Structure 1
Amino acid sequence: MNKSKWVVLGLAVTVLSGTIVGCGNDKAVVSDKGTSTEKQELNLTLGDEIPSLDPSKGTDSISFTIMGQINEGLIRLDEKGQPTAGVAKEWKVSADGKTYTFTLRDDAKWSDGSAVTAQDFEYSWKRSLDPNTKSSYAFMLAWIAGGDAYNTGKGTADEVKVKAKDDKTLEVQLESAKPYFLEQLAFPVFFPEKKAFVEKVGDKFGGDVDKVLSNGPFKITQWSHEQSVEIVKNDTYWDKGNVKLDKVTFQVVKDPGARENLFEAGQIDRFGLLADQVDRYKDKPEFKRRNDLYTGYLEYNSARPALANAKIRQALTFAIDGDKYTDIVFHDGSVGATGFVPTGISDGTGDFREHNGDVMKTKENAAKAKTLLAEGLKEAGLTEFPKLKLASSDSASGKKGVEFIKEQWRSNLGIDIEVELMPFKLRLQKQRSKDYDISITNWGADYNDPMTFLDLFVTDGGFNDVSYKNPKYDALIKSAQVEPDAKKRMQMLYDAEKMFMADMPVGPVYFSASTSISKPYIKNWVNRVTGPDMDLKTTYIQGKE
């Protein structure tokens, strides 16, 4: 997903074929955490406006942060990131790993009091696959048998093998076994949607407080665009007894200094640290650092003649010192990139990044950057580097980042670039519509497998904002998607990443880490490294003065 590093501060699944592998308690177990006398209210921040709360159309971590609190899929992830029961109380997997049968719990309800049904999942998934919806995440549903054909206009909705057998039974058939499928079902694009509600509100679905229907631990009650969002405990949620927070307020605060001032004044309870803030808080007991599963990178619009040349793209990438970038811009443990897939992504036997090695070799290639640029310009028939713009979100870190890159290119390549700053939502829109020259962006893991990074750039992929086209790359990815042998599959992905980095349609800059500081009275805070950044279902307040 497109992540905002300044918003807020998954594992492989073993399928037990032919048996019931997931069970949840039909009745809520009331937690003894928290106290009845303490105010269960939490104040947090978002780095920008929410682009969309439509599960079929959301593409970014800001949207997913809120969706993850107000909605729930068939599966939830537990505190260790393992699949556990959500709306589905149990499920059965066929011996070949291709067919899943989910049984929904009887007490799953929408915030309007109506029942969540298997039809709500069938409708949602097929709506996302409908080419008219233009869902960027349809590719994750295209693995359902018939899904790709429907999404590409070669098949019909009726041919998609997701079917509500009755109100409480959903059957799904995949084209090929996916060991991470259960984990994916906790991701927002797999959330249910109530057909009657969606059709009633039309194109505005997910765009305002009265255009959202919830089935998760919380529901949205206030949305002042560009300012704040308020969610409250959802009394119709099946497991409401384990939800302790009564209200969570998210303020939109772009400036890290302003966030720190709010924290010190007691107006927010937690925030992500950047740059000099890290040194000020690192000795506090509530200071936390973690490695994130996402990569920051430059997108090169290949429709621009200069950027259609691989040597020019390589020169621009190698001229940036990723380690210096992360220290100056973030200073939070993030490091320079050595490939497109970040450290921490599993390859089934260990770390993908460690096993595939440094496929960029930026430090040794930096000396060749100026020569590559000259050769590339000559090949492109250009006598000088053209006037291009570098786009970024207008956060404090976004501004600092593009100014660093601008200076790196000036000093290392002798070229000048114009900086273009804009709101996060607008940057995403420009990337999707390919209305940009170069953009600094990032991608976070939707599930813990290298495929979540490498399938982005197949020809005509929903997130292929750079219009990368390489039939050999496409063939490797498509073969890996159906290869049953884990070792052969991973070798295809190793080879695919090396091919991708040789072409360099994007320029990886950093692998992200994050740091944060919380008030000591926040208990059971659950971070996520895939999907939504957090899970507030079991978070509570205790010991606040």
Structure 2
Amino acid sequence: MDRLGGSCFIKEMTMNKKSYSILAVAVAGSMGLAACGGGSSDNKSGGSGAEGSGGTLYYLTKRPAEHLDPQRMYIGRDLSNLGRLTYRSLVQFPVTEDKAKADKPVADLATDTGKMSDGGKTWKFTIKDGVKWEDGKDITCADFKYGLSRTFATDVITGGPNYAIGFLDIPKKGDAPAYNGPYKKEGQAEFDKAVTCEGKTITYKFNKAWPDFNLAVASLRAFDPYRKDKDKGDKSNYAIFSNGPYKLQGTWKKGTGGTFVRNEHYDAKTDGVRKALPDKIEFKEGLTNEIINQRLIADGGKDKSAITDRAIPPSMYGQIKGDSQKRSVNVESPYVDYLVPNFNKMKNLKVRQALLAATNQDAWITAGGGDKAYAPSYSIINPALTTAYAKNPAFTDVPKGNIEKAKKLLEGVPASEKNIKFTYSGGTPTADKQAGAMKDNWEKAGFKVTLNGLTDTYYDVIQNPKADGDVFWGGWGSDWPSASTVIPALFDSRLNLTEKSNGQDYGNYKSDEVNKMIDEAAKKTSVDEAGEVYKQIDKKLGEDVAYIPLEIQKFYYLRGSKVTNYINNPATSMYPDLGAIGVSK
């Protein structure tokens, strides 16, 4: 799952526990024991009139949302927020701070957490009675089927997760599925065999076992329902048609934000998880990290009822004391930030090896705020994924860099191959300072570096295979607790690379050997067995310099003094959980 600088997908170090719970949940489903009724949580669902309800919550942020279309969303902040406010799915994660409960999906729009059969290759869910869209119409099985079909229209529905493309039992046409989505409808009959509706029951048929499918459903919005009559393709990118406790008032304006008010057709009795306490939630985009945190430190006016996903800048650490310290949290993330060489341009292995040797992770971390902001990283896989993690031997030089080794590798390399453009998510003093530190070290080795900090949207730029950068910054956290949501998502060229998009393979990396090993991992029947294969894949990626690890992100957040029931939920990636939070009057 993508991360944007300062706003990240976080699952505080609980993934090791989750990796064991995946198969347990799957087994329960296969035995027909997964029923969870209306769901459960530490807090009863609320809504208008519930204890602690009312008032306006303000959400202050910087980076504009790139996609609010459920099938196109892939940034953790937006998945978390919209999953609590407007988009319901078959299952969801509880509102809780209890790590032991946070990773167990509960029913949402479905009557239970799904029933698995055929060794994990078939899943069935039945939709509840009385669940409705914001216009009062019933949510149907056909809405779920149509929503998933949109993922296959890769020329229109871009930016979102592509797991369905690899898992659904649909024949291939060359390297791509025979089905190309609901707009062109080529191969529609094949999709109709893989996803079927019988009354209120939807059945998914996969080409390989997917025992943790319901975790994927709870984590992502790609499997959410979508009404066919509301679909305008690319023009639906910022259109929100709600089935959750809130609906968008008016329109969402990119760079400014929008306001959510109560959805009168939402019935809390069909939910059981979301408290939906504020009457209104106003999102404000376009504010700098410095301005946001200055306002939260001052704690005046409307800012007393404000929260943020933007980390406290290192230059302001000294101001966090007394009252503001009590209103702060510092949580560790499973998000790994990394660099990827653009294989469409940086084709020379020696040049990539020199780039790796000249990378000084310590300088990057220091420029970004030190140990309050980051922990060192030695792999694209977070250490919390214990079954798949090992320090990658390719990255032994990363902490300090090895300038002399880099210089030697660049001997005889044409000058044109030493000119590199570094594209990163910029626009903040901290990000620019980190990029500058990286440039200094690379240039000591003999590279000539141009910095290209993008200040508006980011991932939709670098997902273009024709993007002219030589090196890209990226940030990623597992979509659910398995390395299967890291390595294939980022480096399986069959899932990612098309004419118009590289998916999440931002460096346009393609390796038949890696793809074959990914298939081998997918055949394993346990997380532990698959983890051993992923360790070998990671080693190969290091040898190819398919990526360079930078750090593991940590977050330092403030909130206003009138914010109530504030929690950073492992289930919502340690973002402020909008399913719980209220404001005092």
How does the TM-score come out when normalised to structure 2? 0.82
Aligned partners of 2:73, 2:146: CA distance in 1, in Å?
17
What does 1:134-283 align with in structure 2 at a 5 Å threshold?
Answer: 134-137=157-160, 139-147=162-170, 149=172, 152-154=176-178, 156-160=187-191, 161-186=193-218, 187-198=220-231, 201-207=232-238, 211-221=239-249, 222-239=251-268, 242-263=275-296, 264=298, 265-268=300-303, 269-271=306-308, 272-281=311-320
Aligned AA (1:513): K
Could you tell me which residue of structure 2 aligns to residue 73 of structure 1?
Answer: 89
Aligned to 2:385: 345
Structure 1 equivalent of residue 76 of structure 2: 61
| Equivalent residue, structure 2, for 1:123 | 146
Aligned to 1:390: 422
Q: Deviations for 1:8-45, whole angstroms, at most 9, x for unmatched residues? A: 89624222123140323399965599976874321122
| 1:238–1:326 distance in 2 versus 1, CA, 3 Å | farther
Q: 1:50 to 1:167 in 2, by over 3 A?
A: farther
Matched, 1:43 2:66: no
Residue identity in the other structure for 1:166: E
Point out the more displaced range, 226-235 or 99-108: 226-235
Segments of 5+ residues of structure 1 without an aligned counterpart are: none
Residue among 323, 336, 357 paired with 2:391: 357
- The CA distance in 2 between the partners of 1:30 and 1:486, in whole Å, is 34
Asked if structure 2 preserves the Cα contact closer than 8 Å seen for 1:434 and 1:465, the reply is: no
Q: Which one of the candidate residues 328, 332, 343 is aligned to 1:291?
A: 332
Measured in 2, the distance between the counterparts of 1:414 and 1:431 equals 28
Contact 1:289 1:514 in 2 (8 A): yes
Amino acid at match of 2:493: T
1:401 and 2:424 correspond: no
- The one-letter code sitting in structure 2 at the alignment partner of 1:228 is G
> Shift of the alpha carbon at 1:197?
0.9
Structure 1 residues 24 and 453: alpha-carbon distance in aligned structure 2, compared to 1, 3 A threshold: same
CA distance in 1 between counterparts of 2:424 and 2:544 reads: 23
Go from structure 1 to structure 2 and tell me whether the alpha carbon gap of 1:286 and 1:228 turns closer, same or farther (over 3 Å shift): same
The residue identity in structure 2 corresponding to 1:340 is I
Q: Does 1:469 align with 2:503?
A: no
With a CA cutoff of 8 Å and minimum separation of 6, indicate the structure with the bigger relative contact order.
2
Aligned partner of 2:37 in structure 1 is 24
Deviation string 1:132-181 (CA, Å, 9 cap, x unpaired) is 44544453113443246378143523323543433421111222222321
SS of alignment partner, residue 64 of structure 1: helix
Q: Partner amino acid for 1:488? A: E
CA distance in 2, matches of 1:311, 1:428: 29
Specify the code of the residue in structure 1 equivalent to 2:443.
Answer: R
Is 1:417 paired with 2:459?
A: no
DSSP-derived class of the 1:515 partner: strand
Secondary structure of 1:22's aligned partner:
coil
Aligned letter for 2:234?
D
Letter in 2 for 1:189: A
| Residue 2 (1) aligns with residue 36 (2) | no
Q: Is the CA contact (8 Å cut-off) linking 1:310 and 1:505 kept in structure 2? A: no
1:512 CA displacement: 1.0
Q: For the residues of structure 1 that align with 2:350 and 2:106, how far apart are their CA atoms?
A: 47
Distance in 2 between residues matched to 1:158 and 1:531, nearest whole Å: 37
Distance 1:440 1:32, change over 3 A: closer
How many equivalent residue pairs? 527
Are residues 1:329 and 2:368 paired?
Answer: yes
Using a 3 Å threshold, how does the CA distance of structure 1 residues 534 and 81 change in structure 2: closer, same or farther? farther
Rounded to whole Å, the distance in 2 between the matches of 1:45 and 1:296 is 23
How far off its partner does 1:340 sit? Answer: 1.1
Moved more, 128-137 or 101-110: 128-137
Letter of the aligned partner of 1:157 in structure 2?
A: Q
Superposition deviation, residue 66 in structure 1: 4.2
Counterpart CA distance in 2 for 1:367 and 1:309 is: 20
- Asked if residue 541 in structure 1 is aligned to residue 565 in structure 2, the reply is no
1:227-284 Cα shifts (integer Å, max 9, x gaps): 2222223222232783212111121144221112222234432233231333432662
Matched to 1:232, the amino acid is: V
- The 5 Å alignment of 1:445-456 reads 445-455=478-488, 456=490
In structure 1, distance between residues paired with 2:399 and 2:313: 29
How much does 1:369 deviate?
A: 4.2
Structure 2 Cα separation of the partners of residues 482 and 539 of structure 1:
41
Task: Specify whether residues 88 and 146 from structure 1 end up closer, same or farther in structure 2 by C-alpha distance, changes over 3 A only.
Answer: same
Amino acid at match of 1:256: N
1:424 shift after superposition: 4.2
Query: For 2:145, what is the secondary structure of its paired residue?
Result: helix
The answer (yes or no) to whether the contact 1:390–1:420 under 8 Å persists in 2 is yes
| Equivalent position amino acid for 2:353 in 1 | Q
Q: Pick which of 320-329 and 158-167 moved more.
A: 158-167
1:437 alignment counterpart: 470
Correspondent of 1:52 among 52, 56, 67: 67
* Offset of residue 285 of structure 1: 2.3
Q: Distance in 2 between matches of 1:315 and 1:32?
A: 57
| Amino acid of the structure 1 residue aligned with 2:352 | R
Q: For residues 524 and 52 of structure 2, what CA distance do their matches in structure 1 show?
A: 56
Q: Residue 143 of structure 2 contacts residue 225 of structure 2 at CA under 8 Å; is this kept in 1?
A: yes
**Following TM superposition, by how much is the alpha carbon of 1:57 offset from its aligned partner in structure 2, in angstroms?**
2.2
Residues 445, 372 of structure 1: CA spacing in aligned structure 2 closer, same or farther, 3 A cutoff? same
**Pairwise CA RMSD of aligned residues?**
3.0
Q: CA 1:237 to 1:367, structure 2 compared with 1: closer, same or farther past 3 Å?
A: closer
2 CA distance for matches of 1:37 and 1:534? Answer: 17
Structure 2 CA distance, aligned partners of 1:430 and 1:317? 20
Structure 1 position 101, deviation (Å): 1.2
Alpha-carbon distance in structure 2 between the residues aligned to 1:337 and 1:232: 41
Match for residue 500 of structure 2?
A: none
Instruction: State the match for 1:458 in structure 2.
Output: 492
Once residues 137 and 237 of structure 1 are traced to their aligned partners in structure 2, the CA distance between those partners, rounded to angstroms, is 26
Identical aligned residues as a percent: 19
> Separation in 1 of the partners of 2:65 and 2:463?
17
Conservation of the 8 A alpha-carbon contact between 2:156 and 2:234: no
In structure 2, stretches of 5+ residues that fail to align are: 10-14, 97-101, 180-186, 497-502
Q: Report the Cα offset of residue 193 of structure 1.
A: 0.7
Deviations 1:68-107 (A, max 9, x none): 2320111101131321111112232226222211011112
1:372 to partner: Cα distance? 3.6
Matches of 1:311 and 1:282 in 2, distance apart?
Answer: 49
Q: Distance in 2 between matches of 1:227 and 1:375?
A: 47
Amino acid corresponding to residue 253 of structure 2 in structure 1: S
The CA distance in 2 between the partners of 1:459 and 1:32, in whole Å, is 44
